[in-house]
Every structure is written in C-alpha cells, then in structure tokens.
Amino acid sequence: MRHEEPPKKIGRYSPQSHLATGGMGRVFLALDPEGRTVAVKQLHPGIAHESGMRERLRREVEVMRRIRSARVAELVDADMEADPPYIVTRYVQGRTLHSLVDEEGPLRGDALLRMAYGIAEALVAIHDAGHVHRDLKPSNVMVAGGEPVVIDFGIAREHDATRLTHEGAAIGTVGYIPPEVLEGAVAGPPADVFAWGATVAYAATGRPAFGTGGMQAVALRAYRGAADLDGVPGEFRQLLTAALAPRADVRPDARTLVRALSDHPAGFTMDPAAVDPVPAPGSGAATPGTEPVRPGRRRALAIGAGAAAAAVLVSGSLLVGRFGARADPPQASPSLSPVAAPSRPSYQATVANGQAGQKLMDFLADNAGKKVLFFAPLDAGITPYAGGGEPFDSFGKNDMALFTFWPECRENLDPGEQPTSLKCEGVQVTILGEQPARVGLQYTNGFYRVQGNFEVSADGTHQGIHAFTLKPVEAA
C-alpha cells in the first residue's frame, strides 16, 4: 500500500490518515464536523476528468444508497461536483480478513462459520439490490467483533452497466476472478459467489485458493478448477468446490449459500459439473503445472542518450538463454485475453526479456505500417516510463509511455551485470497519447498491460536499440 500525506480538507471532512490507494481512488480516515470517524474515498485527481469516471463514481453512490445491511459499510455522504469527487462511508473499526488470518492464522469452528455466513449474507443484500460487488476478496472484508463487513464498492455496478468500464478489461483480482470474467463477460452474481469461495478458502487455510505465482498461472488454475482446499474443514468442502466451479451456471447463488450455512454445510450436495474445467485462452501451449518464470530482484538501468535517455528496470533472472548459459531460457506464459482478436494481426502474450522479447520484436517488425491489436501484460521485470525518462504515473497523466526490453545479448553477461546496448540488442516501445488512456498502457491490480488497437511504426535503430511507436487508432 502506498501511503500518502492526507489533504487538510475534503469537503467538510478532515482527513486524519491515509488508509489505501486503488485503481480508481484513495481512501482516508477522516472526521466529520461532529468528530465522528468516517472513511472518505476520493477519485484520483489524474482520472477525475476522464470520460465516464465521474459517472462511474455516481453509479457507485447509487449502488450503496440502495443496499441496507449491517454486513455492508453504508454510505454516509457524497459530493459528485467536488474536484475531485468523493464519497463517505461508515468507518469499520477492525482489521481486514487478510490481516487477521495473516497475523493469527486460519479460522476454525464457529469463527469460520460466522465468517462464511456473514459474507454470504452481504452478497444476498447486494444481489437483491440488483448489483454486483466484483472485487470481493479478503482485503475487502473488515472483521469487527468477529463479524464480517464488506467494504469497497469502487468497482461495483448495475448488472447492465456494461459501458462503465474499459472494454476488454477484466476488473478484479486474479485468483478471485472467475473464468467467464477473465474472458470478458459482464460480471454477474455468480462472479461474486466465486470470489466468496476463494475468500472463505483463504480464511480456512491462510493460502490463496489458486496458489501464487504469475498472473497467468493463477488464472489457469481457476480455468481448470484446481482450487487448493487442503486444510478446509470437511463440512465446507462441497460448498466451496461448488462456489469455485469454473462454469458459472453450476455455482450456487448467494441465498443457497446462506441456507446451506444456516442449516448444515456438510449436507450440501454440489452439481457434479462443478469440477469440470473450462478451456483457457492459450492453454494449448501449456502443460498442467507449468509456471511462468518468476522475476528476480528489480534493478534500475539507464540506457544511452541514443535511446531517448529512457530508464528501464530489468530482472537478472530473466536474462538467460541467449544472454548466457546460466539457467534455462524463459518460457512465454500463456496469454489470458478477454479481447476477441479482430481480423488484424494481434499480440496477446506477456512482454518479457529473452525469447518472449524476440517474439514481440519480430511481431513489431513484421507489422510496421499496419494496424494491430494488443492485449499484452508487462512482465514484472519491465517497468514503463513517461517521455523524458520520468517515472510513469499510473494514476496521473503523461503525454506518452515507453518501456524497453532485451531480446538477445551478443555476449554472455558477467554475474550481476545488467544488459546494455554494448552487449545486447534492445527494443524501445513508445505508446503515444495521453496516458493512462482507454487505449494504451493501463495499470490494473498491480500490473501494467498494453491494450488496444494501434498503428505500428518502425523508427529505426540507434546504438543497438530498435525503436517502435504504437499510435492508438480506436478502442479495443
């Protein structure tokens, strides 16, 4: 969590400390004019004036006004005309479920039953109001007196409000997002049930239900229905397996969860189809259990002025294969793309160094002067910068974004040595247009991705760095 100095005033509220920062806004603990504590969520200044953002927050307010449940942090106030706009909710004094389990270990017995039941009750209230939370996870569940309260409706919306988010974006947290949403479907109540199952599994085991590792590896386990439920008490097994079913149509609804938990969870009988996997995009290239190469420690590297004085971060553990014989070459992770590729050429794989970088360089060279579709996450070892080499502001606005990767090194690198154009072949990609943009470089759930339709231009080679420019042409 990135801590920020709170402003002196937000409307009539006095911020006391910074609580959290997310993709849409930042949250502060504040005092109202009567001295009572509240949580104030303020839209990021950098996106407050983007098309649709204020309307999106306005709909969030409408969501919260219609939901009446002690299991959901209720709305206190809102000002959509402020600059930037903000909303105020009840401040829940307690710890998140994630912190509770992390510090004290998995829940057992009555504590686990109360947690599972309470979160399911919150979903009933949300769904009965005609809405979907879409980002249920342990860090969005506060625990007060052993009882759960669901918070953060930052991306909640009405079922039919399909135009409020960027097209092609799967919003939520990987490991809590079901396969249908990863494929680009509108999140409905079954998506919240899936997240409920993953959240309760974490509460019962202290581990993410679909493990850790790269985003693609975690998501592929969700497609296969490969939830890790070791350590979950036996009476909860079938209910959680059903909630985590890859197919949305066989998951129980929230009311069924409440009934099962209030009666006897061990008596719940799941649909046998709950264990059937669904096809994953790009999964044909992967074998079960395949893990993406994990990035090593990030290190800063400044490349020469001939490459626009861009600074890039690279990962030593990725510089293998063509970079030397110190390790196995990196494998390109299967792509997870909720964007349906049009007839134009498309690139839907992770942007990384080594062999994956060679693949992208060849794609750019082959399609110079053409329009292409991208849905490509940046590997953790590749960090974008703004024009001029300044750090890229994922919440603000930049005139452009650029990043550099290294497909091949002509000479073996010494231990600890970072690649430069003296020994390695590099590629710099510049994305034009005000960033972050609807088409361009986006930041979601802790990772960057290049998304949209672009026209590719090859800008030549200087000092071993091949330069390409992506110019957005229309929304993906």
Q: Which amino acid is at 16?
A: Q
Residue 302 and residue 419 in contact, taking contact as beta carbons nearer than 8 Å: no
**Burial class (CB within 10 angstroms; exposed 0-12, middle 13-18, buried 19+) of 36:** exposed
How far, in Å, CA of 464 to CA of 467, rounded? 10
* Phi (first) and psi of residue 257, to 5 degrees: -60, -45
CB 376 within 8 A of CB 352: no
DSSP code per residue over 49-77? TSTTHHHHHHHHHHHHHH---TTBPPEEE
CB 224 within 8 A of CB 211: no
- 3-state SS, residue 163: coil
Side-by-side strand order, sheet with 95-96: 95-96, 141-144, 147-150
Question: Which of 83, 135, 228, 399 does the annotation list as catalytic?
Answer: 135
What single-letter amino acid sits at 143?
A: V
Q: Is residue 253 flagged as an active site residue?
A: no
86, 89, 106: which is closest to 97 by C-alpha? 106
| Residues carrying an active site annotation | 135
